[in-house]
Amino acid sequence: MCDVVSTPLDGMDGLVCDLDGVVYAGPKAIPGAVESLNEISDRLPVLFATNNASRPPDVVAGHLHDLGITTTTDRVVTSSTAGARVLADLLPAGTQVLAVGGIGVARALEDVGLQPVGAVDCTTSLPTAVLQGYGPDVTATDLATASFAVAAGARWVATNRDLTLPTERGPAPGNGALVAAVAIATGVEPESVGKPGPLMYQQAADLVDAQPRRMLGVGDRLETDIAGARAAGMKSAMVLTGVHGPLDLAVALRDMRPDFILNDLTDLLTPYEPVCRAGECEFTCGPARSGWTGNRLEFSGGGIERVRVVLAALWQARDQEMLDADAAREVMRSSVGLDELR
Give the Cα separation of 100 and 89 in Å (integer). 19
Give the Cα separation of 232 and 327 in Å (integer). 31
Can you name the residues that pair with 131 across neighbouring β-strands?
Answer: 99, 157
Catalytic machinery residues:
18, 20
Rg (CA), the chain: 22
Give the Cα separation of 33 and 71 in Å (integer). 13
Give the Cα separation of 121 and 16 in Å (integer). 37
Give the closest residue to 16 by CA, choosing from 295, 313, 229: 229
* Cα 317 to the center of its chain, rounded Å: 27
248: three-class secondary structure by DSSP: helix
Residue 321: exposure state from Cβ atoms within 10 A (0-12, 13-18, ≥19): exposed
Per the rule left: phi > 0, alpha: psi between -120 and 50, beta: everything else, 130 is beta
Give the closest residue to 191 by CA, choosing from 224, 157, 159: 157
Q: Is the peptide bond before 190 cis (omega within 30 degrees of 0)?
A: no
